[in-house]
Chains A and B, each alone.
Chain A
Amino acid sequence: MIELDSLAKRFGSFWAVDHVSLSVGKGEIYGLLGANGAGKTTLIRMICGVLTPTAGKGQVLGLDLRREQLKIRQQIGYMSQKFSLYRDLTVEENLLFYARIYGVDRPKERIASLIDQFSLHQVKKQLVSALGTGVRQRVAFGCALVHQPALLILDEATSGADLFTRRLFWEHLYQLAEKGTTILVTTHYMDEAERCHRIALLNRGKLIAEGKVSELKKGVQKENREKSSLEDVFFYYMNKKREA
């Protein structure tokens, strides 16, 4: 679903994404973990077709990253940390707006089913500004899914809510993945990263480790000879890079 071959983006003399290659399969939940400025957002923006890469090749959903940006964007669902909702519109109006922007067929029916799916009946006539974080997250999630995208991108969108809400949210993600939606998640929460099928660690624009969380943990455990958390794994690779 996502095939990146030595993809890079340079701003001035600074390589925000430094020749990253990775591939994500259909129905996979793939996590990008890194500190601020590690290049997560730039990488995501290239995959979304908002930024044009400086070098390298890439395909998203079988479409070329450079030439078919508009087609890619049509099939991507995107949800960011800020939840990107119009606070001065109601829940329903937000959903309808995004449905129209994506040219969804029979938008009213589609949003009715989303309202059902995310139990938004009680709040659908309320302004987003009046809602709590948890509900807002559900609305934003609904907006990102309004056109039934083949690739869902969550840019640090999974934080802040309480454990139950978060778990419910992840259960939705597992369900989507099971039905064949590919999901790309960026986060700097370790426990969020642990929920991904596979993760990539990014540091200063470079991919420094990739794999299943359990395998990464095992690898580091062998080196350190003690039980490692994902945080240990993260710092292990960060320091190894610095030493190198």
Chain B
Amino acid sequence: MWRKIYALMSKEFIQLKHDRRTLALMILLPVIWLVAFGYAVNFDVQKVDLFVVDQAQNEDSKKVKDHLNKDEEIVIKQQGQTVAEAERALRQGEVTLLIHFPPEYQIMAKEEQQKLNISVDGSHLFSASSAIKKMQQILLDVQKESLEDLKKQVQQEMSQIALTEPDPSSPPIQQNQQLQMRIKEQLEEKMKEQQEKLENLFPDSEQFTPDIDVLYNPDLKSAYVMIPGLIGLVLLFITTLMTALGLVREKEQGTLEQLLVSPLRPFELLMGKILPYLLIATIDFLIVWVVGVTLFDIPFLGDFVSFFAVALLFLFVSLGIGLFISTVAQNQQQAMQMTILVLVPQFILSGFVFPLESIPWGVRWISYLLPLTYFLPVCRDLFLKGSSITEFGFELSILVVFAVVILLFAMLRYRKSLG
């Protein structure tokens, strides 16, 4: 039995050897996707282009601008005098962010016309939200600093009052002196109290903002979330497409018919078709894993063996899907279309790109019918959190059900389509 399966497998690899394009596709595709999702489709925006309209030209506006200049991610690209020209630049997409210092601008604004105006181009979704975040951060810094200055100023002024010595030129009167000293002491005490009170009124700039402690992906890099997800997507794509195409191609060439009249058992034929792609998918899995961990420095906190085991389980699901497609499709074109039909929703709805929670229920129920939806959280958590496989009883059992049902269904259809 194994000799025949081996014969089928080696045939598959010889075919791949001759068809360099497909082979290259299968090995390079994961890498290309990895780079694409890791770098290009990086949802972390690096640079924000800014237009500054400074009608105030005062110390406060200078202070803000200094801060902006110091920031590496915000680039003051253009400056101008009118809001109109700035808005034009924004509309034409030359800049994504526009800040306008009104003539009476003050950092510690007390009135509407002293406030800073910020406009942002919302059509560049990710740039806009990241620009807003950046600006808020910077303004917070500026305010913190101003507050600090204010505090210092108050302190200074206070101490100046305290340190005002009685006029030495006035004739010293002994009794008076003692009285004066007492008054002064009391006054100083009062002043100190007052000062402390005043100081307490100022928030401590260090405690001004909450401590946000980001666990598991401390830099909030999208690559960190993307790559474990990408493993799922690559496995799904390669195995589904290759198994679907592989069998349909044999159907088209008439070689399947030839195999059917040979003394091959259906099981042997099935294994001969599945195992090669299982092997290739495993290699792809390793490529994505290694590249992810080394090139993108993604910390792999999990246990590799259990991670691999889960991936293998998921592979059986996607092999089953591919096999099923191959029993329905009449030619390679149809197989291709059906594969895309199966893959696109998984790409969009599984939580790979958009978090499940952000998908409205009208569509979200579809998500729960897709195997990738269950594989992704397991994959991410094993990768980033180092969770134990035992925590995912629910997801894993659903995947097992998927694998068993789809493979059974495919095998039944397969027998039927052959008979």
Interface residue ranges, A against B (CB under 8 Å): 48-52, 70-71, 73-74, 76, 78, 80-90, 93, 97-98, 100-103, 127, 143, 153
Contacts and interface: CB of A to CB of B under 8 A. Distances in A.
Interface string B12-33: 0011001100000000000000
A76 B260 CA distance: 11
B3 A102 contact: no
B413 to A, nearest CB: 17
Contacts of A93: 11, 14
B57 interface: no
B331 to A, nearest CB: 14
Given A97-B11, A101-B7, A101-B8, A84 B263 contact: no
B254 A84 contact: yes
Interface of B: 3-4, 6-8, 10-11, 14-15, 18-19, 253-255, 257-265, 418-419
A89 B15 contact: yes
Given A51-B419, A83-B254, A102-B263, 6 more contacts: A76-B261, A82-B257, A89-B15, A101-B262, A101-B263, A102-B262
A87 B253 contact: yes
Contacts of A85: 253, 255
Most chain B beta-carbon contacts within 10 A, residue among A85, A88, A93, A98: A88
A84 B253 contact: yes
B255 A74 contact: no
Contact of B253 (A70, A86, A127): A86
B280 to A, nearest CB: 16
The 8 A-B pairs at the shortest CB distance, nearest first, are namely A82-B254, A100-B7, A84-B258, A78-B261, A74-B263, A84-B254, A73-B263, A48-B261
Contacts of A101: 4, 7-8, 259, 262-264
A66 to B, nearest CB: 14
Contact of B14 (A78, A82, A89): A89
B255 A50 contact: no
A98 B262 contact: yes
B272 to A, nearest CB: 9
Nearest to B8: A101
A101 B1 CA distance: 10
Given A84-B253, A88-B19, A50 B261 contact: yes
Contacts of B8: 101
Contact of B255 (A84, A90, A127, A153): A84
A153 B263 CA distance: 15
A197 to B, nearest CB: 23
A155 to B, nearest CB: 9
A87 B11 CA distance: 12
A113 to B, nearest CB: 20
A73 B14 CA distance: 25
Nearest to A93: B14
Nearest to A52: B419
A98 B264 CA distance: 11
Contacts of B255: 84-86
A84 B249 CA distance: 11
Most chain A beta-carbon contacts within 10 A, residue among B4, B14, B254, B255: B255
22 contacts: A48-B260, A50-B260, A50-B261, A80-B254, A80-B257, A80-B258, A84-B255, A85-B253, A86-B11, A86-B253, A90-B18, A97-B11, A98-B262, A100-B3, A100-B6, A100-B10, A101-B4, A101-B262, A101-B263, A101-B264, A103-B3, A127-B18
Nearest to B255: A84
B265 to A, nearest CB: 7
A81 B257 CA distance: 11
B330 to A, nearest CB: 15
Contact of A70 (B7, B15, B265, B419): B265
Contacts of A88: 15, 18-19
Nearest to A76: B261
Nearest to A129: B18
Contacts of B265: 70
B73 to A, nearest CB: 51
